[in-house]
A and B are shown apart, each in its own frame.
Chain A
Amino acid sequence: MDAIRENLPLLAQGIGTTIALTVLGYAFALILGTVLAVARVSPIPPLRGAATVYVEIFRNIPLLSLLILIAFGLPDVGLLLPYFWCGVLGLTLSSAAFVCENVRSGINTVPVGHAEAARSIGLGFFGTLRFVVLPQAFRSMVQPLVNVFIGTVIGSALCSAIAVQEVTWVTQTLNIRYAQAVLMFMIAGAVYLLLSLGGAALGGVIERAVAPGGKDRSSGRAALDVTAGAQA
């Protein structure tokens, strides 16, 4: 236990970095993923194609390979990012592909008639999305998006491979000195468990808040506000 007590500041800093990686990576992934999903349902074939290519590429590259490509491949083409931002970029690019597919399947749960009704009252493409389709779609996306969040939490551990000093990195570093692998990794495991459980609990709260059955207009607005909250 001395290993823990003497290194509390380092551990705390590692946990902070893990949270920062996760929150930034997930927030950017929500934004990018939603934009991609809009592209995927848009009526413009090249746009749909581009978004599909993106999703298939970043959904199928192992996150570790992607991180190493970003950290050690991009400098070869002239872009040298700090390790932390390499980690955020990798998490964002990868999670955005999953967010996109979740949002797209959420959009597909909204009956076509709703969109047609929206058009008939004069709303354009973005108006239809903003006021009619996305508010309904977000309800069915809460739990899948929680899964992406948990994936981002867990994926952040891989950033230790590109020297981001998050909690797994701290654990490895302390273990080299104290040779207490089981204890160290139980602590790291507990941190990830707490973060994931926290995300899942928050997801549950959001899901109840946006559940249908309340006043339609207000719950629709809540769904959008809540997403804004999760990004902050």
Chain B
Amino acid sequence: MTPTTFRPGRRAVVAAAATALPLLGLAACSSDTGDGPDLGGGEGGDEGDGDSVPQADALASGPVAADDVIAASAWATAIKEKGQLVRGGTVANQVFSLASTTGGMPTGFDAGITQLLAKYILGEGGEEKVEYIDTTVETRETMVQNDTVDCVIATYSITAERLEVIDFAGPYYLSGTSIQVRAEDKDTISGPEDLTGLKLVTQANSTGIQAIEENVTDPADVQTLPDNESCVAALKQGRADAYVLDQGVLLGNSAADPDVVVVGEPFVDDPYGIGLSQENEDALDFCNTFLQEIIDSGSWESLWTATVGEVIDGEAPEPPVPGDLPV
């Protein structure tokens, strides 16, 4: 059937042209923004690539477990037999785990811990035999429970509720929740007590939400966005007055962009652990032994220096005690 057409009167032409104008405006507007806002995705790659060499040093110093240590753990034996460690996590976090743009291994603190664990179980060269499976905060517990992944290493905060459904080895890193503001606000905001009545932003996949609930009285609004770049954009554009998250990530933002600064000291301890299934009873002890070994061998410290140390000033902190769960 042929399309129906109409012969319009003069008034109709004028009316139709009037409708077209805003539409043209919309189309023009959308092509203006079609290049995409610069959400700051660029700086991540630079840092990741720059880290690759020191991180390789940290990996080279990593220990390898003796055969009888592996044999004593059914979990580790199974991984050694299949010749691959399957890690759940992300490869989109600048400081902790970022996919390489040049085809190498992911870089960052969590990525380094993963590679050290793979080397510990699989022997020399094992650090390259890792399968990285993307997990989100929604899927982490489930993927650990149903053995889709051998472990989750993903800035995974140890909390009482999570301990009910999975095991945590570690903590292997003690993070702190901190506050980032626009540079012009740095004199008026210095701690969670100054955030009352302000609009706050944090990442959807973080414990920042709980940190806000427990430490900030009556914030005007708590926004959660999926990634660091949109949180920074929200802060800079005035959608939010303060950005609450892990200090390491916030310091990375300040290093990349002088318009945002970190104020005060971290106000909540945020211990990261290796998520493990409760079904694999021996995995917990095995991973804690592994963490103690990389601390004793100095690999933990050189990994910290190569990754988190790039965005935080000062010496590497004292490593946490594996097995010393905070809750």
Contacts of A39 in B (CB 8 A): 16, 19-20, 23
B278 to chain A, nearest CB (A): 13
The reply on A42 being an interface residue by CB < 8 A is: yes
Query: Known: A44-B17, A72-B234. Is A173-B224 also a contact (CB below 8 A)?
Result: yes
On chain A, the number of residues with a Cβ less than 8 Å from chain B's Cβ atoms is 62
Given contacts A83-B239, A162-B225, contact A36 B6 (CB under 8 A): no
Assess whether B30 is interfacial by the CB under 8 Å rule: yes
Q: How far is the CA of A223 from the CA of B211 in the complex (A)?
A: 53
Scoring B27, B39, B209 by chain A CB atoms within 10 A of each residue's CB, the highest score goes to: B27
Task: Give the chain A neighbours of B16 by CB distance below 8 A.
Answer: 38-39, 42, 44, 47, 125
Task: Mark B1-35 against chain A: 1 for CB-CB distance below 8 A, else 0.
Answer: 11111111101110111011001101101111110
Q: Let me know if B318 is at the binding interface, CB within 8 A.
A: no
Task: Report whether A69 and B37 are in contact in the complex, using a CB–CB cutoff of 8 Å.
Answer: yes
Q: Which A residues from 147 to 205 make CB contacts under 8 A with B? A: 160-163, 169, 171-173, 175-182, 184-185
Question: Which residue of chain A lies nearest to B165 when distances are taken between CB atoms in the complex?
Answer: A179
Judge whether B37 and A73 touch: CB under 8 Å: yes
Report if A69-B33 is in contact (Cβ < 8 Å); known contacts: A50-B27, A80-B238, A161-B226: yes
Q: Which A residues, 97 to 147, have Cβ-Cβ distances below 8 Å to chain B?
A: 107-112, 114-115, 119, 124-126, 128-129, 133
With A77-B32, A160-B204, A161-B225 as contacts: A43 and B4 at CB distance below 8 Å: no
Return the contact of A163 from the options B164, B206, B225 (Cβ within 8 A).
B225
B224 touches A43 (CB 8 A): no
* Pair A47/B17 contact, Cβ less than 8 Å: yes
A128 CA / B30 CA spacing, docked (Å): 33
The segment out of A51-59, A208-216, A224-232 that lies at the interface is A51-59
Residues in chain B near residue A185, CB distance under 8 A: 138
On chain B, which size bracket covers the interface?
35 or more
Number of A-B contacts (CB under 8 A): 164
Give CA–CA (A114, B238) in the complex, Å.
55
Q: Is the CB of A50 within 8 A of B4?
A: no
Q: How far is the CA of A176 from the CA of B137 in the complex (A)?
A: 7
A68 interface residue, CB < 8 Å from B?
A: yes
Rounded to whole Å, the gap between the CB of A9 and the closest CB of chain B is 15
- Across the interface, A72 reaches (CB within 8 A) one of B17, B32, B237, namely B237
- Chain B, Cβ-Cβ closest to A107: B4
| Docked-complex contact B9 and A124, CB < 8 angstroms | yes
Q: How far is the CB of B26 from chain A (nearest CB, A)?
A: 7
CB-contact partner of A125 in B2, B7, B138, B165, under 8 A: B7
- The reply to whether the CB of A6 lies closer than 8 angstroms to some CB of chain B is no
Contacts of A133 in B (CB 8 A): 4
Q: How far is the CB of A98 from chain B (nearest CB, A)?
A: 16
Nearest chain-A residue to B164 (Cβ)?
A179
Q: A16-45 vs B: 1/0 string, CB under 8 Å?
A: 000000000000000000011011011110
Is B292 an interface residue, CB under 8 A from the partner? no
Complex Cα–Cα for A53 and B23 (A): 9
Nearest B residue to A129 via CB reads B6
Q: List residues of chain B with CB within 8 A of the CB of A72.
A: 37, 39, 230, 233-234, 237
What 0/1 pattern do residues 27 to 62 of B give for CB contact below 8 A with A?
Answer: 101111110110100000000000000000000000
Cross-chain contact of A74 among B2, B33, B165, B166 (Cβ < 8 A): B33
Contact of A172 among B3, B36, B138, B237 (CB under 8 A): B138
* Bound-complex Cα distance A119 to B37 (A): 49
B137 / chain A contacts, CB cutoff of 8 Å? 172, 175-176
Contact A73 B23 (CB under 8 A): no
Partner of B23, one of A51, A110, A171, A173: A51
- A76: chain B residues within 8 A (beta carbon): 33, 37, 237
B270 at the interface (CB under 8 A from A): no
Q: A112-B5, A119-B6 are in contact. List 16 more A-B contacts (CB 8 A).
A: A41-B6, A43-B5, A43-B8, A44-B8, A47-B20, A68-B39, A69-B36, A73-B36, A76-B33, A107-B4, A109-B1, A111-B4, A115-B4, A125-B8, A125-B12, A181-B141
B interface residues with partner A (beta carbon < 8 Å): 1-9, 11-13, 15-17, 19-20, 23-24, 26-27, 29-34, 36-37, 39, 137-142, 159, 161-162, 164-166, 201, 204-207, 209-210, 223-226, 230, 233-234, 237-239
* 11 CB < 8 A contacts A-B: A41-B6, A76-B37, A107-B3, A108-B3, A115-B6, A125-B16, A126-B12, A161-B230, A172-B204, A176-B205, A179-B166
Binding site for B on A (CB under 8 A): 35-36, 38-39, 41-44, 46-47, 50-51, 53-54, 57-58, 61, 68-69, 71-77, 80, 83, 93, 107-112, 114-115, 119, 124-126, 128-129, 133, 160-163, 169, 171-173, 175-182, 184-185
Q: Which 8 A-B pairs have the closest CB atoms?
A: A125-B8, A163-B223, A125-B12, A73-B33, A75-B237, A73-B37, A124-B9, A72-B233
